[in-house]
Each structure stands twice: as structure tokens, then as C-alpha cells.
Structure 1
Amino acid sequence: MAENVKAAQLKEEGNKFYVQQDYAQAHTKYTEAIAEDATNAVLYANRAAYQQAADDAEKKATKLDPCYAKAWARLATAQDALTVSENNPSVNAWQKALDSLPKENLTPAELKQRGQYSAGLKAAKRPRIIRMSGIAGKTPWECAAAMKPELVEPKYEAVNSSAWVIMNAYEEFIGGVESMKKFKKVMTPLGWSATGRLDGLVGLTNGIIRDERVFHIDDPNWLSMYNEQGSPYYCPKFYTILKLTTFPIVIFEAQSKKAWVDAKPDVVITEAQERLRLQGWTALHPALSTTIRAWIMRGFLEGGLRRAKSVEVEFLGYALEVLDWGSRVWKDVPKDDCGAIFQRTFIRGVRSLHIRALMEAHGQDPGPDSKFPIEDILEEADDILREMREHDPRPNDGSAYDPGFISSFYIYPAAQAISMKAYYHGQMAPRCHPDTDAAIDHLRKSGNFYIEAADMYPEDDENHAYFLNCGVQNLFRCGTPLRETLAILKRIRLAIPKMKRIWGSSALFKEGRDEGLNRALMMEKEALDQIKKGNFTLDDLGMPEWKD
């Protein structure tokens, strides 16, 4: 039997990643090769070696040489990719890798390792995107819904609440979930068939784009629906791209709408034009929508479930490449023909997901030699802000508008882009010599951008208090007068009760959000105490050391 050329190419790519000990990418390539040639036993053996890599690394790290930092790091990397539960065993391995490095006089290579291992540990400790909805009535969307009667009161300035954002996102997301749950496999005299609506991807992606914090799992069978590899609908061709989203409804959507889920953007762009010429928008519109949304879900879930941020950047990048191309080529085509995916708001939502993934990918691979340069984050943030200045959707005649829609597709993306500029300057400061004008300038810019981002969010959004805290910490470090520091700390204190009405239990809360906010409250109290004692005045710069 002739060798499958594409499978052989993917196998070689997997081998290269494996040799480089990039086990996550190796596993992906072997899986893609199997999708091309499911009869090749060698491919299965190679993919099995991925698990063997974890076993070998564990043996090397724990038994043969427990002080070998790289072995612990390899074990952690493999465990990261193999783990889809919230209890990530790589936390211990990353910590062991750090502990195995010298405590002082590190070489440049060891300093780089310490940065990589620290980033790996931080990511491993972060709660994964798999999360149950929590106690009834305590989720952000349920808390927001409980506030709705007061939000519609004329005296309430509705736009100033994050409740609208999360409520609208939840309605979209849960609609997709319900479509997924109602999708059923049935046996007919002609074989397997399906009943239910084929719009699960639309609801899921619309909800995530409106506010990704809406993603949650409240059904123990949720993941099995995503990983229905044993389904009679399982098709290796579609599994290539939908590795983490192979629940039957997506496969059926892809098949029924003839989506390009196994193609790269250049192929989609070429073939889409030909399909439009031959079959028109009726055929092209659903195919493109399913393709784009499948890429979004693949990236989002890879980044969340496996912490594979590089993969998330890649697939969200695929979506943006086609979206940017289509929005230019078909800019005059009515929405009813080309669909919602080429609207500015949809593209803006995908850009917000992409820049967040880019920032987290940089966090996993930090430093000047990162595969995800910090300069790319700044450039994308500036592009987002430039596009929104040119196309502000808010009416300028004082007329009413949907606060949830405007927040999801204008205010929040703008705030996030500004926070990314803050992140850029915060990352650049340590690259300068400490206490130099350049380092202080980066810290000051970082702090000011964080404050600007916080000001765009409603006071009851957790990001408002969170970014205020990020900002005040950086401003404090560069010598801001206590008067200004205390003014920001007071704003944090006043915002916390409002925030907790909706966001008392959220993913950011689980990541330790309130620990940082509590430190800010302690910082305010201590500063006021010291001023009262006469040790400092409001005009003093920072608080380097408290006086007795």
C-alpha cells in the first residue's frame, strides 16, 4: 500500500518536535497524522511515546537524578499537555525544577530556565478553563440576573454595570449548550441519523466572544460530548482540527455545511472564492461560519484545557486571517448574505481573544527571545484601539443604546487593549537597569495605562478593581506622591463591595484576585496610620520604609 504523503510529513514534523522535547506539539502532529492515515501502526506507537516521554522524564527526575532541573521541567511540560482536569500534577514538577536550580550565581542559561520554569509554575497553578458553575445563585450570571429589576429602574445608569455584559453572554452561551445537549443520535432503517438543531457552535462562540468569563461546565457529561471519539459520527478527517471539539453536533455541523475544518487559511481563502462563484452565498455563508467558529473553539479550548497557549494563538490567528481577508474583499456584501462573522463587532471579539492568548503565550515563554515577542502584543493593542477610534458604534446624539452590546464589543475590547499596553511596559521595565530613568518611565506608563483600562470598566466589574490595583502598585514603585496613591487605594476599597455583588465567585477570584486587593486595603490602612503618626505627609513620594 502506498504511503500517505501527508501523514508521513506530519509524522516527520512530530518527530522533530519530539527530539526537541516539545511534547505537546509532537502529540498534536502525531494525532494529525493518524487522522490522515488511521491504519498506520507506527503513528500510534509514536503518539504512545508521548505518554512514555512523561514516564521517562518522571523516572529520570525522581529516581535517577532528582536534582536534574531539566528532567523535572520535561516532566512538567508533558504533564501539562496530558492533563485536562483542574488538579494539575505539573505544579509539583515545576516547583521541583525551580528548586533544582542554583540559589545564587546563576549563569545566563540558568536565569532563562528560572524564568521559563516560574512561568510554567504560575500557569499550572492557574485554574483551568474546565470549571463547574458553582453553588446555585452564586455564579456571575445568576447574580447579575438577580440585579435586573434594579438595573431597569430609570434612576439607575444601566450602562455602568457589568451585569448586562455577563447576562447577554450567558444567554448566547447557554443557547449553544442547550443545542448541544438536545442533539441526539438515532438509528433508522437506513443507518445512523441525528435529530436536533445544528447551531451549537454559534451560541457557544457568540457567548465566549461577548465575555469569555461565561464559559463553564455544569454537566458531568459535558466533556464526553466534546470528546465523542467513539461516536458513529467520528471521522478522522474532521477530528484533525476538532481534536477537543469532536462532539457529534460539531461534526455534523461541519459535514452538513461542508466546512473546511481540516484546511489552513490559504486553502479556505482560495476555495471559498470558487465555491461562491459556483454555489453562491447560500452555500458559502454557513461553511465559512462553521469553519471560523470551529477554529475559535479549538483555540479557546486548547488554551484553556491544556494550557497550550501557542496552539490557541495559532488557531485564533487562522480565524483572524480569513476574517480580515473576507471583511476587505466583501466589505460591501450585505450581512444577510455573508453572515455575522464579517461584522466589525465579531472580528473585534476574536481579536480580544487573540491578544489575551498572545499575552499568556508570552507569559509561558517570557524574555527577549520569546516566540511571542512582547512587541507583537503592543502592536496588536494599538491596532485594536486604532480600529475602534475609526468605528465607534456608540451613538453621538444622546439616544439610548444596548449597554451590554456596546460594552462587549467596544468598551471591554478597548479596555483590554489598553491593559495590554500596560502589560507591555510592565514587562519592559525589568529589562532596563533598575532605578534608571528608562525603568521608571516604563513603570509609570504601565501604571497609568492600567488606571486608564480600569476607568473604562464599570465599577462593579472585577477588572475595574483588579486593574486599579495593578496600576497603583506600579505607580507606587516609581515614586508617585502618597496623595495620588491613596486616592487610587480608596477607589479600590469603594469598588470591592460593588464588584462582589456579581463577581464574588469567578475564575479570577479562584486565581487569587482578592489576595491582591486585600493587600491594597492593608496598604491604604498602613499609609493612613503612618500619616496620622506624622511619619509621612501626603506629598511624600512612595513609602520605601516605615518609620517607627
Structure 2
Amino acid sequence: MSSSGQSSEASRLKTEGNSLFTRNDFTGAYEKYTEALKHDDKNAVLYCNRAACSLGLNRSVASYKTLSSQATQLDPAYTKAWGRLANARAGLNRPDQAVEAWERAVGAFPAENLTAAQQKQKEQYQGELAAAKAKLDDLLAHPREPQGIVRLQDGDQLPWNRAAAMLPELQRTGVWASSAWVADYTYQEWKRALSAMKEGRVMHTSRGAGYFGRQGVVEGLTNAIIADPRVFHISDQDFLTMYNRQMMFEIAQTKAWTENGSRDVMKQVPERLRAEGWDVVRPALSLTVRGWIMRAFLEDNLKNNVVTALDFYTSALEVLQWGQELYKDVPFSEKGQIFQPTFIRGVKSLRLDAFMKAYTKERSANPKYSLDELLAGAQELLDELVGAPTQPQTVDDYAFILAFHRYPTGQAHAIRGFYYNEKARALRGTVQGLSRAVVDLYLEATKAYTEASACYPPDEESYPWYLHCALQAMWESVGQVKCLLALLDSMKKSIVLVKRIWEFGANWTSGPNSTPGFVVHLEKDMMLRDQLLEKMRRGEINRDSLVSLQGDVIIRASNAWA
């Protein structure tokens, strides 16, 4: 086909893509623009339009950024492409780069004789530029404190050190149901990776500066985080600098994908496999996926940017599930450990946690974070765990069974509890009070949270915490004294055990955004327990009585829904 024929075909496909885009058929439009690029791969408008489809499909913000960047490279005067690149950079929580792109977007407009549409768009971009600058100035003036991070203190008080001190006795007595096994296992993995990363050095040679380090660091860090995210802690103020250098070093060694979204990676993997084989593709694909996981985790826990975190987790999971199905007959020794079911389950758990945070943060403003989708993710975890081993066979299995079988099961049940609790609150607001249906939902929440708690060892902080959540659901309606006391008594016994390991952990001492940690809520629960026992001692209630909570006071209630 002649060049003019190619251009004509690209134009036709572009027109069809535009028509589909206006009808919000982003999948169809994306495919049309992709087909058009085969005929005209230097067309900045096609890249820019495909970027808009990518965003409409809720695909990776990184992919959106890549496509927008390609458009600006092809046509540096393309204002809309710069605007989309600025939005992508803002979505990746890079306000500094967003400011730069907005400046390029504003500067790309003609100096004079603007049309009315151009003038309107320029004013919009100027407003976006001002907002981006304001955000950047605020971040520079008020640096955000990382959330959920263990602050360094006396080494003996840190959870993993306390856990390590307990292991000899646990091993001697054959007790496997202890969070000490997981805490120690993940810390050893984290420590090995961190030590290897610290060996990296910037060295100057006759050919210029270079970084020399050890491979496998990102693998070790992600393995630890997937097993137990609480292991993440920063003991060196240069951690992020070291990590970024290490990541660039490993990218250079493995030829991993850097600016590509999940769709591009899934397209290019088969092509590279045919040309280079698994020995080349395996490390490249592993680092790509693990890099997304680390980026997601850092966005969530250091920048409090859970929306971007969710985007990167989703990209990682898309590639993992795609490869798991497409290469199901390829041995793990060939395709890599990232396709192991337990690794994928770990990523699902991290993504579910991020999704629930995004739902909680955006529930009133962004309906795309659906409560039903959250429940579906939890149910997917439960379905795949049916028949999975719940009891270890050897000492080496202790941490593994807990981290990849029992903990995900507990998380899934807890999400079910959260779902029923949210449904109950919404229905209660609609009917303006309690009803039989509302009470039934709270009962379902209580049952789900109780099931969640039972999946954890008694010295795991999630054990009393999910009992607390069950208790809160019960207080929201009415509870029978003997049921409340059963929960409270289990919590009381567990708190003593939990503090042996997690007393100075981040969740125990403080929650996100400086909210009170677990211990504050659990201490209040113990005060309510004392109040219940005192009312029983005075004969005001008995074990079969129904009670509810008004403020901090327990009152007797009637069974209006029997």
C-alpha cells in the first residue's frame, strides 16, 4: 500500500475510533486507534487518543503516561498531548513533573490570534498549572509523614526481634499457631535484601559513573512485603535513593519493561519469547511485575496515594493472571516464581487492601470503587482457597501456611464483614432507624468478622482487632450479654499475647493519618467489658439480656425483631 493509502486507512480508522469514543466504547475505540497506528505510527493524535481510551478503561496510569509521552515526542506543539501527559504525571503523584508538562501545554498555544476554543482550553490549562504549582508548593512546605511505618526505637522492642526471641520456645513446644513465625520469616527475607542493596556502589570509571550492585534485591523486598506488609520499615534515610539506584541497575541487567503498561507488556512478551526465550524473558518479566508491586506499595505507604497504588497493583495482577493462563503448561523453573499461585494470591491481597482503602476514601465522590467489586474480590480469594492446606506438615511450613493460606482467608472474611457493615449502615440511613433487615446485616457482619479472627493465631494483632470489629457490628444493633462477653473474653486473653510481639508495631500504636492505633480501641472495649460485668453484679442485667450502646453507656434493649 502506498504512503497515501496508508494515511487514508489510518484516517478512516481514526474516524471510526472517534465515533466509538464519543459513545464511551473505549475498548472498541482503543482497538481502532491501535489498528490505525499500524498504518501511521508517527501520528501524535492517534497516540493521544489511545491514551484517553486507556484512561477510560481504567488501565494503568503508567500506560496512559507512556502513550501521552509518545504523542508529545512526535509533536512537541500538540497541546492536548501535553495536557494528558500532565494529568498522567499527576496521577502518578509526581506534581513536579506535572507542573513541567502543564507549562509545556500552556506554552504550546499560539502566541496570538487564538480561536475561541483555543482560548478556553488555554485558560483551563492555566488553571490546572496553577493548581499543580499550589500542590507542589504545599508538599515542599509540608512534607507528608509516611503512614503505617514502624518508627525506629530500641531494637529489642521491634516486632521481628521480639518474634525471633520467642522462636526457640515455640519450636521446642511445637506451637505453630503464632505470628512470630511470619514476623521472623519476612524480616529475614527483608534483611537479606536490604543488606544486598546496601552493597551497591556508585563508581567512577574511564567510561563515566556507573552503579555496581547485586541482583535479586527487588525480588527479596517484594517476597517479604507479599508475605507480610508490616515488615516494611525504613532504617536508613537514604532508603529511597538506594532503592531507585538498585531498580535502575536491575532494569539494565534484565532489560525489564519500564514505560510500558500491562497491555503493552502482554503484547511484547510472546514476541520476545520467540526471539530470546525464557532465560531472557523470565528475569525481565519478574522485575517488571515486582517493580509495579514495589511502586504500588510505596505510593500507598509513603505518599498516601492509594489510587495510584491500586493502579499499579492492577497492572501487576493483569499480567500475572494472563501469564498464568497462557503459560499454564510451562514449568515454574522456566516461567518464574511470580506465576506461583501463592505469589499471585499475595498480590491479590495487597490489591484488595488498597481497593478497600480507595473505596473508604472515595466512596462518596468516585463510584468506580464498588462495594460489590470488593466483595467479589474477597469471594474469589475464598473460592481459590477451598481445599488449600490449613495445617503445616513441618517447621519450614509454619510461616508459609500462615502467610499464604490462613491470613488471606482471614482477610477475605474481614472484607465480607466490612461489606455487610456498610450495607447495614446504608440501609439504616434509608429507613431512618433499625429494622429486621438492618439487624440481620449487622449479624452477618458479626459472623464474618468472627470467622476472620479465627483464621489468625491468638498472638496476631488481627485476632483481637477483628473481634473488635465484630463487637462494633453487634453494638450497632443489639447484642446478647453472653455473646458480647464471649467476644470480650477472647479479646482480653489475646491482647496479652499480642503485646508480646506487636506492642510497638505501627498498627498497634497508631493508625493511618495519625488516628489511634488498635490498642486505644481495644482498651475501650475492655472498659465496656468491666461495665457489663458490673451491671451483672448489680443485677441490672443477666447473661441472656439484650443490650445496646449509647455513647459509652450500655443500656438494656428489647428484642423488637424476634
TM-score by length of 1: 0.77
2:168 to 149, 154, 162: 149
Secondary structure of 1:152's partner?
helix
2:71 corresponds to 1:6: yes
Residue 188 of structure 2 is aligned with which of 171, 188, 191? 171
1:433-466 CA-to-partner distances (Å, cap 9, x unmatched) read: 2302222122111111111111110000111011
> Aligned AA for 2:496?
P
- Structure 1 counterpart of 2:410: 415
Alignment partner of 2:236: what SS? coil
Deviation at 1:50, TM superposition (A): 7.4
Task: Give 1:364 shift.
Answer: 0.9
Number of the residue aligned with 1:316: 313
AA matched with 2:215: L
8 Å CA contact 1:144, 1:164 repeated in 2: yes
2:99–2:133 CA contact under 8 A, matched in 1: no
Instruction: Tell me what 1:229 maps to.
Output: none
For residues 161 and 461 of structure 1, the distance between their equivalents in structure 2, rounded to whole angstroms, comes to: 7
| Cα separation, 2, equivalents of 1:26 and 1:337 | 33
Equivalent residue, structure 2, for 1:282: 279
Counterpart of 1:53 in structure 2 is: 131
Unaligned 5+ residue runs, structure 2? 1-42, 45-68, 73-77, 109-123, 512-516, 557-562
2:374 maps to amino acid: I
- Where does residue 137 of structure 1 map in the other structure? 156
Amino acid at match of 1:136: G
Contact 1:468 / 1:488 at 8 angstroms: preserved in 2? yes
- Cα 1:248–1:281 change in 2 (3 A) is same
Alignment of 1:207-218 (within 5 A): 207-218=224-235
Q: 1:254 aligns to what SS in structure 2?
A: helix
1:165 Cα offset (Å): 0.5
Q: CA deviation at 1:15?
A: 5.9
> What is the DSSP-based 3-state SS (H/G/I as helix, E as strand, rest coil) of the residue aligned with 2:209?
strand
Counterpart-to-counterpart distance in 1, 2:371 and 2:555: 39
Indicate how the Cα distance of structure 1 residues 83 and 11 shifts in structure 2: closer, same or farther if over 3 A, else same: farther
Given the alignment, which residue of 518, 526, 548 partners 1:521? 526
1:379 to 376, 384, 388: 376
> Structure 2: how far apart are the matches of 1:32 and 1:413?
37
Q: Distance in 2 between matches of 1:85 and 1:417?
A: 31
Shift of 1:222: 1.6
Residues 375-384 or 400-409, more deviating: 400-409
- What do residues 72-124 of structure 1 show as CA deviations (whole Å, max 9, x unaligned)? xxx7x9957996542xxxxxxxxxxxxxxxxxxxxxxxxxxxxxxxxxxxxxx
- Aligned residue number for residue 501 of structure 1: 500
Q: Are 2:401 and 1:437 equivalent residues in the alignment?
A: no
Please tell me whether the aligned partners of residues 327 and 342 of structure 1 are also in contact (alpha carbons under 8 angstroms). yes
8 Å CA contact 2:95–2:132 kept in 1: the answer is no
Q: Deviations over 1:472-530 (max 9, x none)?
A: 12123322210010011011111111000000011112222111101110011000000
Give the Cα–Cα distance (whole angstroms) in 1 for the partners of residues 103 and 127 of structure 2: 17
Match for 2:420: what amino acid?
A: H
Q: Which moved more, 1:257-266 or 1:349-358?
A: 257-266
Q: In the alignment, is the contact (CA less than 8 A) between 2:148 and 2:301 conserved in 1?
A: yes
Q: Distance in 2 between matches of 1:10 and 1:150?
A: 62
In the other structure, the counterpart of 1:162 is 179
Partner of 1:452: 451
Q: Please point out which of 535, 540, 547 is paired with 2:545.
A: 540
After superposition, give the CA deviation of every residue in 1:226-251 in whole Å (9 maximum; x if it has no partner): 4xxxxxxxxxxxxxxxxxxxx11101
Structure 1 position 136, deviation (Å): 1.3
- Tell me: CA distance 1:84–1:295, structure 2 relative to 1, closer, same or farther (3 Å): farther
Secondary structure in 2 aligned to 1:542? strand
Q: Show structure 1 runs of 5+ residues with no match.
A: 18-22, 57-74, 87-126, 227-246
Counterparts of 2:324 and 2:133, CA distance in 1: 48
Whether the aligned pair in 2 keeps the contact of 1:30 and 1:47 (CA below 8 Å) is no
Q: For each residue in 1:367-397, what CA deviation from the matched residue of structure 2 results, as whole angstroms up to 9, or x when unmatched?
A: 495331111110000001101115x14579x
Work out the CA distance in 2 between the residues paired with 1:49 and 1:185.
Answer: 41
> Is this contact kept in 1: 2:211–2:245, CA < 8 A?
no
What is the match of residue 357 of structure 1?
A: 354
Match of 2:237 in 1: 220
Letter in 2 for 1:11: W
Of 245, 250, 254, 1:248 maps to 245
CA distance in 1, matches of 2:198, 2:107: 37
Q: Distance in 1 between matches of 2:326 and 2:255?
A: 22
Find the counterpart in structure 2 of residue 181 from structure 1: 198
Which residue of structure 1 lines up, in the alignment, with residue 460 of structure 2?
Answer: 461
Alpha-carbon distance change, 204 to 51 in structure 1, aligned in 2, over 3 angstroms: farther
Identity over aligned pairs, percent: 31
**TM-score when normalising by structure 2:** 0.75
How far 1:29 sits from its partner (Å)?
A: 8.4
Is contact 2:201–2:213 with CA below 8 Å preserved after alignment?
A: yes
CA distance in 1, matches of 2:377, 2:354: 12
- Give the 3 Å change call, closer, same or farther, for CA 210–535 of structure 1 in structure 2: same
Q: Read off the aligned partner of 2:97 and give its amino acid letter.
A: T
The answer to whether the 8 Å contact 2:479/2:546 transfers is: yes
Say whether the 8 Å CA contact 1:450–1:467 is kept in structure 2. yes
Separation in 2, partners of 1:13, 1:272: 27
- Tell me which residue corresponds to 1:201: 218
Of residues 202-211 and 181-190 in structure 1, the stretch that sits farther from structure 2 once superposed is 181-190
Paired residue type of 1:191: G
Counterpart Cα distance in 1 of 2:100 and 2:133: 22
Distance 1:79 1:518, change over 3 A: farther
- Determine the structure 2 residue equivalent to 1:124: none
- Mapped to 2, the partners of 1:492 and 1:519 lie a distance apart of 12
State which drifts further: 505-514 or 163-172. 505-514
Structure number, greater radius of gyration: 2
